Amino acid sequence: MEIFKYMEKYDYEQLVFCQDRTSGLKAIIAIHDTTLGPALGGVRMWPYATEEQAIEDALRLARGMTYKNAAAGLNLGGGKTVIIGDPFQDKNEEMFRALGRFIQGLNGRYITAEDVGTTVSDMDLIHEETNYVTGISPTFGSSGNPSPVTAYGVYLGMKASVKEAFGTDSLQGIKVAIQGLGNVAYALCDYLHRDGAILIVTDINKKAVDRVVNDFGATSIEPNDIYKQEADVFSPCALGAIINDVTIPQLKAKVIAGSANNQLKESRHGNIIHEMGIVYAPDYVINAGGVINVADELYGYNRERAMKRVETIYDSLTKIFEISKEENIPTYLAANRLAENRIQRVAKSRKQFLQNDKNILNGR
């Protein structure tokens, strides 16, 4: 991998390698863009097979956070940390405290939070060394686990998507096929069940499936059968790259709306489902509730304020669907355009401000 060529192609700002021999920490911090403000993105811990895979994941996820934060209207850029290691075997206190010191050394350019493989407790350990961390325990005046808020945003985004497809945002009687039943998906099932949706669910974890079946009267199916269900909505809430050449021909749903990151395996798959007339809620827009929630901590956490901001996900998706129709472009491109335009406007404004300041100093 030619790192500088990759960084130049997508205009990354910084890549930081962090090593602590005592704790076994091997981490990579990627900062993509700070035009809108400090980079915000979580810490992912995963047993990557190679260092190159870890680097690529950090870079890809950091860029995704730039778009997510911009589309959510946050004054934050995009960044990400990945730790190479098994989250079930390799964690220790010293590891996260060491990472906290590295983050502190970036002097506010990057703010972290939890992600796949990390927890609120891990964030508390990072907080021992730096204030540039969100999603810590409520005892520290924070918001805690962001999963329920992410689920609320996905629920609202699904309502907006259903309205686009069927003319009403009522979920009464709507069949939703949900792939993956982690913390976010369980809370999503609760919202959907209360609204009278019919749930079809799957997960490789049988206990998670049984819980949802018992609590919400869902119908369970085998993992490989989820795509071909006669459902109104397909809701991917687990793996990325799940919209691909193999799964698309099986889909019968008119809406794709779920919490999983990076749902399109390739951009062309977004083009294909657009041509099929499927309403696709771009993942980084619909699943932004969690990051909106933890970002509110930067101002002194206020749950009511945070939830009102999460509710704008409905309006953001409605606008994206309008752009998609008006310009006849896939919704993922419409979402990208929305995010990129905001970044460009701020960059242009900042450039003009600096030029005016320079002119004043030069007596013009």
Residue 134: closest CA among 287, 298, 303: 298
**Euclidean distance between CA atoms 356 and 362, whole angstroms:** 10
Q: Look at the block and give the residue holding tokens 């790259």.
A: 241
Contact 81, 43 (CB under 8 A): yes
| Residue 158 CA: distances (Å) to CA of 71, 112, 232, 270, 277 | 17, 28, 11, 18, 16
- Strands 198-202 and 219-220 turn out to be parallel
**Euclidean distance between CA atoms 31 and 38, whole angstroms:** 9
Which spans in the chain are helix H?
A: 3-10, 51-71, 93-105, 120-127, 147-166, 183-194, 206-216, 267-275, 283-286, 289-295, 303-310, 312-327, 331-361
**In the 8-state DSSP scheme, what is residue 353?**
H
Torsion over CA: 103, 104, 110, 113 (sign): positive
Known catalytic residue at 68: no
Reported residue count of the chain is 364
**Euclidean distance between CA atoms 319 and 315, whole angstroms:** 6
**Euclidean distance between CA atoms 283 and 113, whole angstroms:** 19
- Give phi and psi for 351, each to the nearest 5: -65, -40
**Euclidean distance between CA atoms 290 and 150, whole angstroms:** 4
Helix (H, G, I), strand (E, B) or coil at 39: strand
> Which residue in 26, 68, 80, 91 is the catalytic one?
80
Catalytically active residues are 80
